[in-house]
Chains A and B, each alone.
Chain A
């Protein structure tokens, strides 16, 4: 069962999934990001350190969040992906769009 911890740092929402980010848990991530945007927090960082498996649904939830935050004038960034998530980003050629930052702080500070 995947859990999600959230923390607001400055004007950025940091989401920390723990477990698998897949078909089952991806809708939760979409909802968390949509709720954040609806509440006016349009900067989101997804900290992937606790994600031991990510599939195309997990990636899709982050792309959905990327579009939602950008449409509201913000952005979504990802930080600390494990090797498995990096493989998914690589195979889907998404590393240019979802650049993996080495730390949450770096992701928050990115232009």
Chain B
């Protein structure tokens, strides 16, 4: 049975300072759950930061307010990222890497490779949710 170990939440603006805050909140999470392995930390941090950057990039300076919710469980790490804005217009089950010399377009595929990634679009004011789940390896 899975046990909740830690839960952190922040409401952020869609500006570059939000990336600093995202990394700060992730670091705070590691302080709460020191036994998470380095590899799980690297992969979860990467996935969460990629989605945060994606939200900031696609806000196009419109000053969205978005929510970052991090939780640690005995068997997994989870991040919920909720933001306003239009639906992401692509398949929501697979994210593929672009051709090898493309200099953009890897973010979602990279996040999905680092942890599992799910995308939900809702009609409530918060609009969209990304769910990142990293099942712990140790």
Give A residues with C-beta under 8 Å from B: 20, 22-24, 53, 55-57, 59-61, 63-64, 66-67, 83-84, 87-88, 91-94, 97
Task: Kindly count the residue-residue contacts between A and B in the assembled complex, taking CB atoms under 8 Å apart.
Answer: 68
Size of interface on B: residues with Cβ below 8 Å to A: 26
Chain B residues near A (Cβ < 8 Å): 16, 19, 23, 38-39, 42-43, 45-46, 49-50, 53, 56-57, 97, 100-104, 106-107, 109-110, 113-114
Beyond A22-B53, A56-B106, is A84–B46 a contact (Cβ under 8 Å)? yes
Q: Is the interface of B mostly helix, strand, loop or mixed?
A: helix
Q: Find out whether the CB atom of A87 lies under 8 angstroms from the CB atom of B42.
A: yes
B103's partner among A53, A61, A93 (CB-CB below 8 A) is: A61
Contact B107 A55 (CB under 8 A): yes
Are the C-beta atoms of A22 and B49 separated by less than 8 Å? yes
Q: Once the chains are docked, how many angstroms separate the CA of A87 from the CA of B97?
A: 15
Alpha-carbon gap, A67 to B110, bound state (A): 21
**Chain A residue nearest to B56 in the complex (CB):** A23
Q: Which residue of chain B has its CB nearest to the CB of A67?
A: B101
| Additional A-B contact list (12), CB under 8 Å, known A55-B46, A56-B110, A61-B103 | A22-B19, A23-B57, A53-B45, A55-B110, A56-B104, A56-B106, A56-B107, A60-B103, A60-B104, A83-B38, A84-B46, A92-B113
